[in-house]
Amino acid sequence: MTPESICNILKDRFGGVIEDAVLEGARPYALIRQGDNGRWPEVARFLRDDPRLGFNLLRCITALDLLADNKLACVYDFLRVADDGGDALIQPKQTWIFAVRLVTDRDAPSLPSVADVWPAADWHEREAYDLMGVVFDGHPDLRRILCPDDWEGHPLRKDYAYPMEYHGIPGTTEYELTNPYH
């Protein structure tokens, strides 16, 4: 199934919620209008359950820092694994991919969680929260996952300041402390 037809199915069902679609690039995706972010779980359920789409495997959630626009974005990548319960090899013509991008404000970043649609989203959302600071409403257990619980800030943000000290561990090396210049 081509990205165009996937996008048309989404537009037929959700109309203006799908604000834009980038279909020419290296990997096509649809953009959800920021005001309609609350309908994202509904769109996600449709993506998973509609027999024409059937995106049952959430591959990845990538959080992006759009510093220039003062926004954060999340890109959800899906894959369709055409599992009919049979023993046959799943062929290329049964397999298709798509992606959806959501945008949120950088100052109070918040997106609805889809962990109940794809349980795979659980850890991906925790990672996006940990490293980029996107808060997922309705997530069952939104904790930091890679950084320690008492870590400050979100390392993947473009304006992240590296801590110079953590529990008595200096954030710089002895070599740097000697102020070498080359």
Q: Which residues bind another protein (CB under 8 A)?
A: 25-27, 29, 56-60, 62, 64-65, 75, 77, 79, 81, 83, 85, 87-92, 94-95, 97, 99, 118-120, 122-124, 131, 144-148, 155-156
Using the minimum distance from each CB to another protein, give the nearer residue, 38 or 151.
Answer: 151
Question: Do 114 and 92 touch, CB atoms closer than 8 A?
Answer: no
| Residue of 166, 152, 145, 173 whose CA lies nearest to 61 | 145
CB of 86 to another protein, least distance (A): 8
Using the minimum distance from each CB to another protein, give the nearer residue, 38 or 81.
Answer: 81
CB of 97 to another protein, least distance (A): 8
Using the minimum distance from each CB to another protein, give the nearer residue, 15 or 51.
Answer: 51
- Distance, CA of 3 to CA of 27 (rounded, Å): 9
C-alpha distances (whole Å) from 35 to each of 32, 75, 97, 110, 123 are 9, 17, 25, 12, 26
Using the minimum distance from each CB to another protein, give the nearer residue, 64 or 135.
Answer: 64
- Distance, CA of 34 to CA of 139 (rounded, Å): 19
Categorise residue 67: left if φ over 0, alpha if ψ from -120 to 50, beta otherwise. Answer: alpha
| Residue of 113, 108, 109 whose CA lies nearest to 138 | 113
CB of 54 to another protein, least distance (A): 10
CB of 45 to another protein, least distance (A): 13
Using the minimum distance from each CB to another protein, give the nearer residue, 10 or 61.
Answer: 61
CB of 13 to another protein, least distance (A): 22
